[in-house]
Amino acid sequence: MANSERTFLAMKPNGVPWGLVGEIIKRFEQKGFHLAGLKFMQASEELLREHYTDLKDHPFFAGLVKYMSSGPMVAMVRYGLNVVKTGRVMLRETNPADSKPGTICGDFCNQAGRNVIHGSDPVESAE
């Protein structure tokens, strides 16, 4: 399929106990993005430092790693036509106050730094 690509998405530790896993999965299914893999997991700080290595020089890095390792998460890979760009639009702006209703962050987030989902961007990072 032309322009078919993969993206990595992770429902963060606060999204899992809030009961949002099914709703978020449903939104990607309804958009027509195929599931390549899904894993319920507890990420180690070592794995998270590697995953977020591009952010290591930012002042929020240590807090991000601590937050992401604080509870279970659901990691998944989705694929389809322009899934990275479309997925980012579905997710939100980084700050929930700037997110529009209908986006995942606009509907389910209320605090910057505690968004319920991570989505890779750009395509190279998603791969």
Residues labelled as active-site residues:
118
Q: How many CA atoms lie within 13 A of 21 on its CB side?
A: 16
Residue type, position 56, single letter: K
Q: Which two tokens stand for residue 109?
A: 């987030």
Angle CA(126)–CA(60)–CA(90) in degrees, nearest 5?
Answer: 40
Residue type, position 15, single letter: G
97 Ramachandran zone, left/alpha/beta (phi>0; psi -120 to 50): alpha
Strand partners, 58: none
